[in-house]
Amino acid sequence: MKYANLGLWKIKFFTTIFVLFTACPVYAIGFGDIGGMLGGGGPDLSGKQSELTGSLRSALINLAKSQIIMAKALGLDKQVMLAEQNVKNMEAGDMGTKAEVEKSIEISASVQEEIAKETAKKTILDVESKAVFVTSVPFYINGVLGSVKTGKEAAAAGESMASLSPMALLKIGPLVTIVSNLPNLISKLSSSTGQIMDFMTVNEIDNSEMNDKLANAF
């Protein structure tokens, strides 16, 4: 994934600054307006934050819906419950806080990891489970494409963060979290998509749509 490494050192550096100043405000430690020392006001990314939290929310809802279906077909009851709760939480809110974004991405990644492990076994499903599994495909495609698109835009936003002061970073916590956490989820999606398609082939489930739309997604 080309975008995953885009400005990675800058992203990590400013994420560290963000965490530091969240835990210990600059005025509390006696440095005064240290923001001016570490960079100017920089671009206003509040609009980009709203845009990306919105697109990520849509992508992760689609992904979670696909995960619910896949997990049911695979007999992964715990992952079904986690994904269902994830959808419920995201549909009830707007992912407007750092904690909401972080939790949604974390759950999405953990559920996807378990689905990947199970599909890697290439277990043959019964007829009923195959019928269930195939209904996950449209949601999965939309979830992956939406996540990748958001990830690319987040990487570009991460470059813009290089000119922001620590105090400015405090105002865009959700965006900082997307920039720093989303690449891990997309990495899991990249590796698991091939496994899922192989699993579908073994189970004689048509994977042509997934292959056509996701072949060059990453």
Q: Which tokens in the block code for residue 46?
A: 């509040």
Better-predicted residue by pLDDT, 37 or 19: 19
pLDDT at 150 over 80: yes
Give the residue extent of every domain in the chain: 2-214
Give the Å distances, CA to CA, from 40 to 6, 52, 86, 161: 22, 23, 37, 11
pTM of the model: 0.81
Q: Which tokens in the block code for residue 78?
A: 């715990």
pLDDT at 78 over 80: yes
Model confidence band, residue 41 (pLDDT cutoffs 50, 70, 90): low
Give the Å distances, CA to CA, from 153 to 95, 158, 160, 172, 197: 17, 9, 11, 15, 27
